[in-house]
Amino acid sequence: MSLVISMEDVWKKYRMGKAGDLIVLKEINLEINKGDFVAITGPSGSGKSTMMNLVGALDVPSFGTISLKGRNIRKMRESSLAMLRGETIGFIFQQFNLLPTLSALQNVMLPMELVDVSEKTAKERAELLLTKLGLEDRMNHKPNELSGGQQQRVAIARALANNPEVILADEPTGNLDSKSGRFVMDFLGELNQKEGKTIILVTHDLELVKYAHRVVYIRDGMIEKDTLNRNGKNQMRAGLKKLTKLRLLKFTQMKAQKKLSAHSRSLIFTQLKGGRKK
């Protein structure tokens, strides 16, 4: 297997003035391979958020080594690290963080434009991603015209814009109703199963943990246990079936209402066949 992220004897501490150092993480050893679906979970205050920042190369350790695609992030310049992080990891947060003045389509195009992808190519990929997420009829809507579930789907499309190898999702269903939450998790499962994306899920919700193939439990700043979840693939297969049914139903409804362009029909048909149109 190809190693994507590794952590070797990682510690993270913060200086608290006269109160001394606050040690948030200690003795962390973790390897994440390409194609893994890993859940990092633990109670409030266990160090999950700090772990997410380190795994996502948003912060560097106080001690120890974190490697992203074989490169030690502590030894990289910030500009080089930002480029590697942007090419490798797509982030999905509990707060959607969409730009309110831009449409759904423009929000998804933005990350591509920042790395000099042509406007034509960016628009085509953004349309494909939004269509995959069931938002082909909401592309020109601004965030305040979308439901919470729709906004999170736009945020997922934005995370996938530059086709990263890794998706890091921090409580991705925290602000969603149960139906929207299931859609998000089923879609993450599809990305892992069909496209081979590495999924890292940070959550306290044990219902979400069921989707993962591997679960890392954090307590008091340390890895308490690292276990395989043998039911994860069954959960994923059930989710893929639900996604296909939802897409077929929406395709049939919109086709009947003549709301689909020829281009959108082609994109949806590709997805229903299970193809990988990029």
The helix or strand, by DSSP H or E, that contains position 6, with its residue range, turns out to be strand 3-15
Can you read off the two tokens belonging to residue 75?
A: 């030894």
Residue boundaries of the structural domains of the chain: 3-239
pTM of the predicted model over 0.85: no
CB 1 within 8 A of CB 29: no
Band of residue 258 on the pLDDT scale cut at 50, 70, 90:
low
Instruction: Spell out a b/e string for 4-31, using b for 16 or more CB atoms within 10 Å of the CB, else e.
Output: bbbbeebebbeeeeeeeeeebbbebebe
Whether the predicted pLDDT of 278 surpasses 50 = no
**Using CA atoms, how far apart are residues 30 and 223, in angstroms rounded to an integer?**
9
**Using CA atoms, how far apart are residues 93 and 91, in angstroms rounded to an integer?**
6
State whether residue 118 is helix, strand or coil: coil
Q: What architecture is domain 3-239?
A: 3-Layer(aba) Sandwich (3.40)
Residue 78: count other Cβ atoms within 10 Å of its Cβ. Answer: 8
CB 168 within 8 A of CB 133: no
Instruction: Provide the pLDDT for residue 72.
Output: 96
Can you read off the two tokens belonging to residue 164?
A: 């990263």
Instruction: Provide the pLDDT for residue 260.
Output: 54
Whether the predicted pLDDT of 101 surpasses 90 = yes
Mean pLDDT confidence for 66-83: 94
- In order of 79, 96, 250, the CA distances from 257 in angstroms are 49, 31, 11
Of residues 7 and 257, more confidence is placed in 7
**Best CA proximity match to 245, nearest among 177, 190, 181:** 190
Residue 128, sorted as left (phi over 0), alpha (psi -120 to 50) or beta, turns out to be alpha
Mean pLDDT confidence for 157-173: 95
Range of lowest pLDDT (103-117, 167-181, 233-247): 233-247
CA–chain centroid gap for 231, Å, is 21
Whether the predicted pLDDT of 90 surpasses 90 = yes
- pLDDT (tens digit, 9 = 90+) per residue, 18-45? 888 899 999 999 999 999 999 999 999 9
**Using CA atoms, how far apart are residues 237 and 235, in angstroms rounded to an integer?**
6
Instruction: Provide the pLDDT for residue 158.
Output: 96
- pLDDT (tens digit, 9 = 90+) per residue, 38-47? 999 999 999 9
CB 34 within 8 A of CB 165: yes
